[in-house]
Amino acid sequence: MKAGDITLLGLITEGGQGLATGNNGKYIGVLEGTKSAENVRKQRPEKLLLANEFCQKQNIKNRNDAVSFLDNLSELETRKLFDELKEKYSRDIFGQGWLYRIVSSNEIADVENLNDDEKLNGIRGEKTFVPYDKGDKEGNRWYAPTPYYIDWNRENVSILQTEPKARWQGYQFYFREGFCWNNVSTPKNEKSMYIKCRLKEKSINDVASMSLYVIDESNNLIHNYCLISLINSRFLFNFLKILINKSVNLQINDIRQLPIIIPAPEQLKFFGQIFNTAVSIQKERFAGHITKQEAERQLDEIQKELAKFVEEIYLKQMR
């Protein structure tokens, strides 16, 4: 394809829904030092008290007792304890999907250096956790770091490949950079009405994180940052809502029907600048250097510039 051509997003991308483990607590953890990890530490004593029989045998009568008991366990011992309690008392004893693993940076593998066998069959050694994208309930645009990591060791991957409760789709769409979006469109006001697309970094993606990837990555006119910019525009949001799907739920086949104009080099340069600026703002926000409100204010200014640019491209093509 060449600059100025129109195609459907689904014809230049591939992908789909991600992995369903069937037992997130067993495989997935949260990164140490994040708010998610703080919440896990606070929840562990309360969750332990739900295992009544175990607590009676250990003379654990209240939250203080539970805190004291858990403080004497290492992180690995804590994981093993909750794994065993779930196995004994039922998978949902602590609430469906509750995560109790806290992952240290020393356990995280370098995804850039994984070979095909490690991606498909799991990693040997001590550093076996890899980033896991569980979707984004907040609906962040452009960029959002994931606090979640999945233990991609050989034993776990072997189970996930064959476990009936898990949904294994192979790894051809894992460990690839692409883009994803919030699957629910429920804006608080008209100003916030966007598809809310963001970069998906090299990771495993969850069933809630529907993701797409550029098929021909060697094409110099089709890049993730360009597609993310187009999808985040008001023009394509309006196109989606008027002509494709009026409901609040955005399915992957809805996104695939979006019309994409292949950009000229100067247009591609503009999208790169918009994308890089937006990502920088989000990184400043998540690093705590600016507030969420300030980030949204700056992003709103970018959206205005993007809206005008994208609308001109499409309207010019329609004349």
Return the CATH number at 167: 3.90.220
Distance between CA 130 and CA 127 in Å, rounded?
9
**Judgement on whether residues 95 and 124 belong to the same structural domain of the protein:** no
| Residue at which a domain ends, from 74, 103, 132 | 103
236 plus 176 within the same structural domain? yes
pLDDT at 184 over 80: no
Residue 272 and residue 195 in one domain: yes
Beta carbons of 259 and 5 less than 8 angstroms apart: no
Residue 92 counted as domain residue: yes
**Domain-located, residue 136:** yes
CB count within 10 Å of CB 191 equals: 11
Range of the domain at 79: 36-103
pLDDT computed for residue 17 by the predictor: 72
pLDDT at 18: 81
Domain boundary (103, 131, 158) is at 103
Examine residue 26 and state whether it is found in any structural domain, yes or no. no
Asked whether residue 130 falls in the same domain as residue 83, the answer is: no
Q: Quick one: average pLDDT of 79-105?
A: 91
3-state secondary structure of 201: coil
For residue 262, give the DSSP letter: P
How much is the pTM?
0.89
* Mean pLDDT, residues 185-210 taken together: 76
Q: Tell me if 195 sits within 8 A of 240, measured CB to CB.
A: yes
Q: Is residue 29 part of a domain?
A: no
- Residue 18 tokens, joined: 């991600």
pLDDT at position 78 over 60: yes
Question: Are 62 and 122 part of one and the same domain?
Answer: no
Structural domain count of the chain: 2
Q: With respect to residue 1, please indicate whether it lies within any of the assigned structural domains.
A: no
Q: Looking at the predicted structure, is the pLDDT value of residue 135 above 70?
A: yes
Residue 212 lies in a domain: yes
